A = this chain, B = another copy of it.
């Protein structure tokens, strides 16, 4: 099976390296490459039909982004996050997102039109009969990133994006749980209400509940169902 980079979703990239990064990220997120799956430069060159230079750049990028791990002289492998590491990612996320809502509750709400758009999207998605876990997870991520964006700190947003991108893999598990989407929607509205009311402590608490519920779902799901693929 020979892939071509051009197939990749129809999106255009400025160079081969960026395109390869996007392709591999997509595959890793969708579990098409299992954890610990090895990737070598030569193999990818052949599959994508490109030279080592762009492949090499792409692998380095993915390694620094935490999608791959580098094994000296043995190539790269899809990084397998253990239970503890996932918890750590959630903790950093919590720290940053609590700060976001604190800022917003203190010095003014996010832009009304953005928030309204999010509310509408949630409503549409919940009414649909076929709710894909991935769509829900992406919408959830979008909500949190919209808040971060509204806080107006680009550096904060960048760090949060890096973490959320990596957690997307596990958040899909989160939304696999029954009625999780409805609960999340409810929690999001609560967060917005508290921010609007400039209730700093309340907003922090609402955000903490939202994030920790997700974390607990992932926590439980991993222990239950994924013990085979992911050995702790």
Binding site for B on A (CB under 8 A): 57, 60-61, 64, 85, 88-89, 91-92, 94-96, 98-99, 153-156, 159, 163
* A85 → B minimal CB distance (Å): 7
29 A-B Cβ contacts within 8 A? Answer: A57-B57, A57-B60, A60-B60, A61-B64, A64-B64, A85-B155, A88-B153, A88-B154, A88-B155, A88-B156, A91-B99, A91-B153, A91-B155, A91-B156, A92-B96, A92-B99, A92-B153, A92-B156, A92-B159, A94-B99, A95-B95, A95-B96, A95-B98, A95-B99, A95-B156, A96-B96, A98-B99, A155-B163, A159-B159
Number of copies: 2
* A191 → B minimal CB distance (Å): 17
Does A92 lie within 8 Å of B60, measured CB to CB?
Answer: no
* A208 → B minimal CB distance (Å): 12
